[in-house]
Structure 1
């Protein structure tokens, strides 16, 4: 608590420094103060693009890549995930084919990548604290920013970097447009999409409002072949499955901006996204066991009802020779999901058994934040200081049900099995101080951020409740340097410390039977956060008036890594084996049984165990081919190569689920005389590997090819046809499965499985009309 007290005292001192002066500056305009309002961008320029859009070259001191919506729009992305997949170093490992939900910068797990909306944190669906970027429709977005390194005035939990989703706002846009489209999938399914955006002057300021509706449909086929070991000499079982995800997203955003007095500006914004989805699975399995053929019909179903919404207000005004900012934000995520799976088994054609399982998830995650900051001249530099306050409340209930039939054809009637509930509360008070300045060709930024976390975890399992509290703090320094060697050449260097808080499921002390092979798992609410010291060194060169090429080297040295460890306590299954041996009279006591039959499976937990390293190189190119006399041809390419080193219970490996590389390349050809254009985009993601107790998986994704053709009618209407997944990409997984760690070390297999899921191409026709 002493650390929290120190942070509170510092926060109060910053507050006094802000509110004590009462004289408002009328003419002072330090860096960051308001400029005159620019002319809003006309939305018809977004609808009917007169020229090809390229990656922006930003003036930020810290390394930032910025991409306007127009950069992605020709390929008609449906969601932010469809946009982000094209930026350097963005991978999606674990996502189903043709879906892009949990983004991973530098290939690190989703929890290492911070996702911001309008520069602010939002709660999400992932247990690893990740936000699924496919929840935000592309039509709500102004631009996507890739923040490669931390600054003191942003939350520090971004070890791999941050994705900032900047929504359209009334200050930047003017006009109205309508978007109407239809999607056709390879199985003949047809779905509509609709959106409208309008912006203009109202209520003494400017207002922008947008609504969007789109059907989300994915159909895929999956094949699994399971063998006794990797020699594939003995086929144990196989499974064919067809899965259909059929749903609809509703979304809207609202922005209001008004000038207040001579120096003030008030901004209010909000967004709402609702996802309704039905998932159906139909599987047929065939298993071979001692000469018997066991077939199973396995129907499955899930219903998903998720909501993301947030509202915020920001007020900036000149004060005491500087600029003061007040922010208040509230964001919430809600999830009500129901999953069921049945299995009807037949042995040599005769009914054997029918079983079913059901899981109900009721989750909510709410965050309330407040920010007070002040920026002012400090000699030849600019000083900024402030404090961020954030309160999070995450509550999840998992209710498990089961059914076993007595006779063939018995109706499924679920009975309660296990109820696991958790409540996590976190309170953060994060003061910061930073300076920036420069001279001639060199600009710099240096800062300190002191992040504190007060955490309370409550877990309930079948009526038993456990509460644990923990607090910790971390000092996060950062330094950014930028050299403009020439008007075209720039070198940047960033040194910054960052933090990754434990995954939510790692904190919950609920015991899960058989979570890893025969091994059990229990969370550890006493975990410390991981921290990382990072370096980014980049070079950027302007090509002509619109092109840019860049290369960036990065390194992260991560401490306090969280990995699975053996508690030394036997698993519940092992306890049951010993009890059965005693009940059968083979041993007189549990102690004798334990001595005669040593444990082979255990209770595992998460712990801070050591260090890890991540490093690699990122390259990006975005330019017209003007030097070849092809002003109307634009090319885009980026490539990231990533390596890492981690030690676990088996030795050295990469970070789990880290794609080795990502590669994007494409072109757009504009035909001005025909008022038309066309283009292609190709994407390839490298293999990823995951090793945990009882299982090792290699994940590979096939090549992804997209194309578009566009025709423009005057300055107000465009018609665009896009085609996705033209190469019928697949997701291929190779599983090595073991019952115990001893078996894993000895390579004594429980099962070796090859699984492939694939989907066909989809087509979209979209008409945009500006009015």
Structure 2
């Protein structure tokens, strides 16, 4: 079990950011790699903090569509998304909220209630490199219990000239989607300007089958056959401008991504495990979700000489808008009749609107302090998140009758504001063979939550302030010019999910149990240790191993409040009504009068205790020059992952943490033919999740990708790539329960087995460099 091939790429050793005067030569060379035959390998980062760096050229020959496609090839990143979907990156297998996603080193907002960012929405063509920062430094935000993923976008000083990219992707159901991209850069107004555009057709036709039983070894209940098609287009653009002003450098950059997406599901439910006959039909369900997402960032920075050192001023604005128009309609049939008879027609429309924006600033100063370097500064963040959810339910009782219009929408809305001022102080230096860095960061947070369950209701306001001291220390010992050891110790934080904070009641969120958010939650904190060894192999190869440990405190879990749920109260009211019908004039003192004895309750989120996360990560990226095969490159990454959490039912791992992540692959260049080919194999270990009312085991099939490339001169390359060539499936087993007591006693409400497949994808892309 050894993790993550890196999807190799196109051509050069990644270039370090060029300074003034050297930019043009470096950038011109970078332009040419689009069509050369060199094999690129994982870069050896010179950062003292443990960092892995992967240039776009490392991935590009497999023509990844998105950052999610890229991240699935690097160490320790898992996904629990649908097949061919790579939204929430799970570094070290932990929930996406434990991983900090940075773009150009800065935090970005996302639509996820767990504060995560959908990496599947950023086109790969915008990216210069991806960095895995295993342990944070004092000059970065501490929201990185699992680590941070820094997505570095193309920079004007890193690219000169331009290229065009055009092609098409062919999907399993016969659909063809376009692929187009263009990037250009050059000298403008005394500086350098880079611009790029990208249009990416997206399509994912999935097929699902679910079989349900009354228990794991029980009787068959029903079967559901479902088609699920995700279809859309991503449009993106980015600009970068840099120029020297006085003693400093001004940098302006921004990007914009627009996603138009439709998710269409059609389900047929039968009371027979094999038959599709109308006599066995139980329901017909159709759901369509129209999604419109907008993601934009603008940043400005000026780095200049001041007071005997180097100062930096950064300003940034980022915004994420997510609008959803979700309509689900179902016709049900009563199987007590033979054949099943019409039992109702109902529909639900949900209108969701989320806007998450962040305004940030940074002031920093770096100067020499004897043989060391001192950096101090302050980061500021003003985050505002607004969410509105409107719901309408309608029904038609007679067969053939249309649904009435969707009216009388109920509404929940909330607003969360967070203001942070985070000062830090950091020292670093080098002594003979030792590189070191240490620092302190103090993160202060003032949060305000305003929520209302219905239009016109009085809004509830909650406020919570807290501060956290986050020390960090990193040490690297250079044994030889090829070998080095590293050690890191840091304290990190994970703030509560937004939906865990909102004091709104979600009925039947866990079986028959309700959920009520808790605005008084404290953030989770973690002490983390990383120990690593890395060796340079020849001129371009790298091999490394890393051990990590995290001790998480104030873990947030779901706990009971003791209050009866809405379902229990409704059942009690029905029992009283039935008793009064049979006993007119009776009252609470009447013998036999129903007494409330709930079996389902209101649950909430609370800080419950500690947890542990640990594992080992191995990566290898090297040409086989020592074996006489300089034109053969191999890539191997393997991560073993484990953790311990105690909940109401005993001990388990962190939910949905895979036991391992493996990627392995190769690239073979044929210089005399101007051709290359290669393959990449990925396997993710099984995962398990247990929450109130449901336990899920997940198994993923292996994923195989391959490419063939033909180059024409130094400017044109044509690539054919194939993805999901093994037609991998995602198989899940759901154990479902209505109440906590029934879950403890293993009294099942339902046991379900679900399998999902998406089919193979083929892509042809032509690249032209100029």
Please point out which of 146, 152, 162 is paired with 2:132: 146
What is the CA-CA distance between 1:36 and the residue it aligns to? 5.5
CA contact (8 A) 1:399 1:416 kept: no
Q: What SS does the corresponding residue of 2:579 show, helix, strand or coil?
A: coil
What is the CA-CA distance between 1:44 and the residue it aligns to? 3.1
**Are 1:448 and 2:440 counterparts?**
yes
Distance 2:134 2:739 in 1: 40
Q: What SS does the corresponding residue of 1:130 show, helix, strand or coil?
A: coil
Distance 1:708 1:657 in 2: 31
Q: Map 1:269-308 to 2 at 5 A.
A: 269-287=253-271, 295-308=282-295
What is the CA-CA distance between 1:575 and the residue it aligns to? 1.1
CA contact (8 A) 1:355 1:403 kept: yes
Q: Map 1:99-138 to 2 at 5 A.
A: 99-138=85-124
In structure 2, what is the equivalent of residue 236 of structure 1?
Answer: 221
In structure 2, what is the equivalent of residue 393 of structure 1?
Answer: 384
Q: Map 1:534-683 to 2 at 5 A.
A: 534-585=528-579, 588-589=587-588, 596=595, 598-683=597-682
Q: Map 1:675-754 to 2 at 5 A.
A: 675-754=674-753
Q: What SS does the corresponding residue of 1:416 show, helix, strand or coil?
A: coil
Distance 2:250 2:221 in 1: 66
In structure 2, what is the equivalent of residue 174 of structure 1?
Answer: 160
Distance 2:151 2:360 in 1: 18
In structure 2, what is the equivalent of residue 20 of structure 1?
Answer: none
Please point out which of 24, 27, 30 is paired with 1:41: 27
Please point out which of 347, 370, 385 is paired with 1:379: 370
What is the CA-CA distance between 1:593 and the residue it aligns to? 8.5
In structure 1, what is the equivalent of residue 3 of structure 2?
Answer: none
Distance 2:574 2:397 in 1: 25
**Are 1:50 and 2:37 counterparts?**
yes
Distance 2:729 2:84 in 1: 9
CA contact (8 A) 2:239 2:253 kept: yes
Q: 1:766 and 1:272, CA in 2 relative to 1: closer, same or farther beyond 3 A?
A: same
In structure 2, what is the equivalent of residue 246 of structure 1?
Answer: 231
In structure 2, what is the equivalent of residue 526 of structure 1?
Answer: 520
Distance 1:733 1:584 in 2: 41
Q: 1:386 and 1:73, CA in 2 relative to 1: closer, same or farther beyond 3 A?
A: same
Q: Deviations over 1:109-163 (max 9, x none)?
A: 0000000000000001211000011111000000000000010000000000010
Please point out which of 178, 183, 190 is paired with 1:192: 178
Query: TM-score, normalising length from structure 1?
Result: 0.93
Distance 1:364 1:383 in 2: 38
In structure 2, what is the equivalent of residue 4 of structure 1?
Answer: none
What is the CA-CA distance between 1:683 and the residue it aligns to? 0.2
CA contact (8 A) 2:385 2:417 kept: yes
CA contact (8 A) 1:582 1:589 kept: no
What is the CA-CA distance between 1:568 and the residue it aligns to? 0.9
What is the CA-CA distance between 1:294 and the residue it aligns to? 5.3
What is the CA-CA distance between 1:65 and the residue it aligns to? 0.2
Distance 1:98 1:453 in 2: 37
Distance 1:733 1:84 in 2: 23
CA contact (8 A) 2:268 2:281 kept: no
Q: Deviations over 1:338-367 (max 9, x none)?
A: 111111122324322101111111110000
Q: Deviations over 1:19-57 (max 9, x none)?
A: xxxxxxxxxxxxx99776443323432311331000000
Q: Deviations over 1:521-561 (max 9, x none)?
A: 01001100000000000000111100000000000000000
In structure 2, what is the equivalent of residue 343 of structure 1?
Answer: 330
Distance 2:575 2:639 in 1: 56
Q: 1:592 and 1:754, CA in 2 relative to 1: closer, same or farther beyond 3 A?
A: farther
Q: What SS does the corresponding residue of 2:160 show, helix, strand or coil?
A: strand
Distance 1:481 1:621 in 2: 22
CA contact (8 A) 2:576 2:594 kept: no
**Are 1:75 and 2:69 counterparts?**
no
Please point out which of 380, 400, 415 is paired with 2:407: 415
Distance 2:426 2:265 in 1: 53
Q: 1:539 and 1:452, CA in 2 relative to 1: closer, same or farther beyond 3 A?
A: same
Distance 1:488 1:323 in 2: 32
Q: What SS does the corresponding residue of 2:632 show, helix, strand or coil?
A: strand
Q: Deviations over 1:655-698 (max 9, x none)?
A: 11111110000000000000100000000011111111100001
In structure 1, what is the equivalent of residue 8 of structure 2?
Answer: none
CA contact (8 A) 2:183 2:195 kept: yes
CA contact (8 A) 2:37 2:675 kept: no
Q: 1:595 and 1:335, CA in 2 relative to 1: closer, same or farther beyond 3 A?
A: same
**Are 1:426 and 2:418 counterparts?**
yes
Distance 1:220 1:197 in 2: 33
In structure 1, what is the equivalent of residue 11 of structure 2?
Answer: none
Which consecutive segments of 4 or more residues in structure 1 shift more than 4 A? Answer: 32-37, 590-597
CA contact (8 A) 1:102 1:133 kept: yes
**Are 1:496 and 2:487 counterparts?**
no
CA contact (8 A) 2:576 2:593 kept: no
Say what the alpha-carbon RMSD is for the aligned residues. Answer: 1.7
Distance 1:172 1:377 in 2: 28
Query: TM-score, normalising length from structure 2?
Result: 0.94
CA contact (8 A) 2:613 2:642 kept: yes
Q: What SS does the corresponding residue of 1:74 show, helix, strand or coil?
A: helix
What is the CA-CA distance between 1:714 and the residue it aligns to? 0.5
Q: How many residues align?
A: 735
What is the CA-CA distance between 1:626 and the residue it aligns to? 0.6
Distance 1:417 1:273 in 2: 31
Q: What SS does the corresponding residue of 2:32 show, helix, strand or coil?
A: helix
Q: What SS does the corresponding residue of 2:598 show, helix, strand or coil?
A: coil
Q: What SS does the corresponding residue of 2:155 show, helix, strand or coil?
A: coil
Q: 1:71 and 1:591, CA in 2 relative to 1: closer, same or farther beyond 3 A?
A: farther
CA contact (8 A) 2:223 2:272 kept: no
